[in-house]
Copies of this chain bind each other. A is one copy, B any other.
Amino acid sequence: MSEHPPLNAEEAAFLENYNPKEYAPISFTVDMVVLTIRNGRLSILLVKRAGHPFKDFWALPGGFVEADESADEAAIRELVEETNISIDEVFVEQLKTYSNPNRDPRMRVISTAYLAFIPNLPTPQGGDDASEAHFFAVEDLFSSDEGISLAFDHATIIHDALERAASKLEYTPLATRFLESPFTLSDLRKVYEAVWGEELHAANFRRKVLSTGNFVKPLGEKGESKFDTGRTAELYVPGDVNILHPAILRSSLKD
């Protein structure tokens, strides 16, 4: 992106003499909000913390940004470490940066959170650092009886991520990133239903998706029925568009 421009003699001399003084120590980390659909429910990858602080609390996977990498690079590295996924089939984007000076009791830790959508992989994930990793259904996470305690400000991060994810599905074709190709329109509809937490009218959903230019591309084949009854559905692959027009809007927002 931005290399510094050719130095003139004056600027070169300045940099020669520039000595980074002792700043208050700061750590820079990434936190990954990895979402997938499991058994029709929106689910999030969490790891159990092995050490202090927040020992034995569940936390977002993540780690330090190394000195020679950007946060984007660290996010992709962490995602591959945690999930062993091939990076071209996932969606990753920066979510937000959290910098409350007290968010980590040890020292100042600035964390840039990333949002990732991955298909539900048969391959078990298992990071190196993570003592224990598990996908939790989002609707269980915040129901008080379940009693899952989250480390740091990760509950806040997850709330922000869920709102972003719901919004992304409205204006972009990224719902397909939760699915392996090819998929049926029912599969796609269930992604929307899981992320939005509302039921959609199947017939109208179908028409809306098909009338939204290049959202999905028909394969012209039918898959095998995934149920013990019902007609077999046609198969689709993702189209090549980046924004949806018209958008597919949540009805729950309309009032």
- A interface, CB within 8 angstroms of B: 1-4, 7, 10-11, 14-15, 18, 20-28, 52-55, 65, 67-72, 94, 96-97, 99-108, 110, 112, 152-153, 156, 243, 245, 253-255
Contact = CB atoms under 8 A, between A and B. Distances in A.
Contacts of A99: 28, 65, 70-72, 112
B28 A100 contact: no
Contacts of A97: 71, 94, 97, 112
Contacts of A25: 20-23
B22 A53 contact: no
Nearest to A53: B11
Nearest to A15: B105
Contact of A10 (B52, B94, B107): B52
Contact of A101 (B11, B26, B70): B70
Contacts of A103: 1-2, 4
A110 B10 contact: no
Contacts of A4: 53-54, 102-105, 152
Chain A binding surface SS class: loop
B3 A102 contact: yes
A38 to B, nearest CB: 28
B23 A100 contact: no
A110 B72 CA distance: 12
29 contacts: A2-B103, A2-B152, A2-B153, A3-B102, A4-B102, A4-B104, A7-B105, A10-B52, A10-B55, A11-B52, A14-B52, A14-B53, A15-B52, A18-B52, A20-B107, A22-B25, A23-B27, A26-B26, A26-B28, A28-B99, A65-B99, A67-B101, A68-B101, A69-B101, A71-B97, A71-B110, A72-B99, A110-B110, A243-B253
Contacts of A101: 67-70
Nearest to A243: B253
Contact of A102 (B2, B14, B24, B152): B2
A106 B18 contact: yes
A26 B107 CA distance: 13
Nearest to A101: B68
Nearest to A104: B4
Contacts of A100: 1-2, 70
A108 to B, nearest CB: 7
Nearest to A167: B171
